[in-house]
Structure 1
Amino acid sequence: MSYYDIDAILTDSQKVPCTFEVDVPGLGYLESSSASPDIKAGTRIQLPLWLAEMLAVSQRLGTLENVISLDIPEALAPRVQNALKADPKTVELRSLATHFYGLGERVLGLFEEEELCDVLINTYKQRTAEISDLAHNPQGALGGDAGAFLRGLDEEERQLFRVAHDSYKDMKAFMGEKTRK
């Protein structure tokens, strides 16, 4: 990803749950409900992914103790994984995270979750087949379940739909031009 990639920036800004393992003086403002100027050990906070990742891999000076421990984001929780296993096409990924697959990719870089990896791959395969079908059959994409499915696409899937639909229109135009001559 590029430094200027807006999708990477938006993925990095998604909030993830984490727990502070040590007391941290002067960062109490990160916890909006606290009047204390410090963060106490055991405090659970939602932090942007970029900050949580940095704090999770850093260690306190002179010790082997991590500053925070990361938890799996709610968008990738076991409840969501079970729904994706049942029928990936019925889950509105956009309501979970606008950059769902980007978040999944970053989380898989931090956690060794084989099952999550398999679920995300299977979800992507099944959903892209549906996206391709709807992009090449515009009449079927206008209403009903197809419309609800399209509204639930995350940003990567929306870009895929746009590219597939534009290529379908271009091919139709090309074939129309070809047969007229």
Structure 2
Amino acid sequence: MCDRSYFPNYFSIEDILVTQEKVPCRTLTTYRNLGWLKPGNASEHLASDTSIDLPLWMVLVLARKPDSLKVETPKVYQEKTREIFEADARVINLFRVNQYYYEFGMYLCMLNVKEYELIQNVITQVI
């Protein structure tokens, strides 16, 4: 698990902006009255086994319930991007990749994303 010494600040503008980042997820349960989150969804509810990009702040709330939401690795932390960073981190402009690359990665580590250890290693190498 990531270092728990990272404590987000509720009143920080930067922290608010970080939690607006979209996170790819798959629902493992049906969420009542959240069908509006999926564009083109005819149902009032968000069905189980639905792929959806949710803002990080919502993922943090929904992921509190065990086995309800599978958080997937965002594109900026997937293997292809990690390989580029490992080759030479200086060639990538982090601001273009994600303005809040480090903070976003720390949140993902706290959510236990499948590849959180690899994300943690890349974050420490890049920053």
Aligned to 2:56: 49
Pick from 101, 105, 122: which aligns with 1:119?
A: 122
Aligned to 1:21: 28
Pick from 38, 41, 57: which aligns with 1:31?
A: 38
TM-score (structure 2 length as normaliser) = 0.84
Aligned to 2:16: 9
Gaps of 5+ in 1: 60-65, 125-181
User: Based on CA coordinates, which of the two structures has the bigger radius of gyration?
Assistant: 1
Amino acid at match of 1:100: Y
Aligned to 1:90: 91
* Greater relative contact order (Cα < 8 A, sep 6+): 2
Aligned to 1:79: 80
Structure with the higher fraction of residues in helix conformation: 1
Distance 1:116 1:47 in 2: 19
> How high is the sequence identity, in percent, across the aligned residues?
26
Deviation at 1:122? Answer: 1.1
Provide runs of 4+ in structure 1 moved above 6 Å: none
Give secondary structure in 2 for the equivalent of 1:18.
Answer: strand
Aligned to 1:137: none
Deviation at 1:109? Answer: 1.6
TM-score (structure 1 length as normaliser) = 0.60
